[in-house]
Amino acid sequence: MDIQQLKYFVEVAKQKNFTKASQILLVSQPSISKMIKSLEDELMITLLDRSERKIKLTDAGVIVYEQALKILQSVEDVYASVNELVQVKKGTVKLGLMPTTGVLLFPNVLAGFKREYPQIDIQMVEYNAKQLKLKVEQGDIDLGITVLPVNSQLFETIPLLSEELVVLVDSEHWLIERETVGLSDLKNESFILLTEDYALHDVVKQACMQSGFEPTVAYKSSLWDLIGEMVATKLGISLIPRSMVSRFNNQNVHAISISYPFIEWELVLIYKKNKYLPFATREFIEYIQLNKL
């Protein structure tokens, strides 16, 4: 058994397809097939179910896949540790952001870090909160800026920002003259929520349930601007972080504080526990701790 066998096997398992794996690895499909077959022969067991169009892991394949991920991560950590000695104050930070947090971070924190560490590259990619946690867990990115809750057994967390959720209503809504409202007073309203892919969807639904009602969901969207427009056209109300109110340059919407319960939107920096962090990533963590949002 060698590293190359495990690397090919893991990529095929991830892609569930030999062709896609060969394109990513830049290796011919027959070479990958041969390598995985030799691994199966060595272990004397079938790892991949090739009977369907999409390749599936066998029970044994699941076990080997989980162990292979750990082995490959350990090998990557060895290379990273050695590279750190050579590339002092150089490197790359792979950072995942939610679409809303880029505005909060840039230009202050990110620009300041870049001035202090001009030779460190920051690769930023956008995901919704749930995807972002998965990407950090799988090791595709080093760090993620997301919202609570997160799995404390999987991730280390650094608090960045905490703010309240507010009710967004149209300019002729019955709440327009109110400064605050209790969440339970909204039980007969139609809600416009982010889709289930977003953590805020679960936060809002859970808060409503704890206030004694299940929200009537009129629409779901993954686009903040569309949510604002739907509220403005009287299709329903929405619960959003206060910092997002300024995003809606539409005078037909208005934000109202929730008197009870106080619902927090907590932004945190996460990274995987027990994972080697390269120099550049550790420096970014230290910098962001000293320069909170």
- Encoded tokens for 126: 């956008």
Looking at the chain, the domain(s) classified CATH 3.40.190.10 span 88-160+267-290
Say which residues have a Cβ less than 8 Å from residue 92's Cβ, sequence separation at least 6: 120, 121, 122, 123, 278, 280
Looking at the chain, the domain(s) classified CATH 1.10.10.10 span 3-85
Question: What whole-number distance in Å separates Cα of residue 203 and Cα of residue 244?
Answer: 16
Say which residues have a Cβ less than 8 Å from residue 228's Cβ, sequence separation at least 6: 168, 238, 247, 248, 250, 253
Q: Regarding the domain with residue range 88-160+267-290, which homologous superfamily does it belong to in the CATH classification?
A: Periplasmic binding protein-like II (3.40.190.10)
Decide: 183 and 208 in contact? Cβ < 8 Å: yes
pLDDT band at 80 (very low <50, low <70, confident <90, very high): confident
CATH fold of 163-263: D-Maltodextrin-Binding Protein; domain 2 (3.40.190)
Question: What whole-number distance in Å separates Cα of residue 217 and Cα of residue 190?
Answer: 6
Given a cut of 60, whether residue 293 has pLDDT beyond it is no
Q: What is the tens place of the pLDDT at every residue in 210-256?
A: 999 999 999 998 888 889 899 999 999 999 888 788 777 666 889 99
Q: pTM of the prediction?
A: 0.62
Cross-strand bridge partners of residue 237:
191
Residue 103 is predicted with a pLDDT of: 60
Residue 246 is predicted with a pLDDT of: 77
CATH fold of 3-85: Arc Repressor Mutant, subunit A (1.10.10)
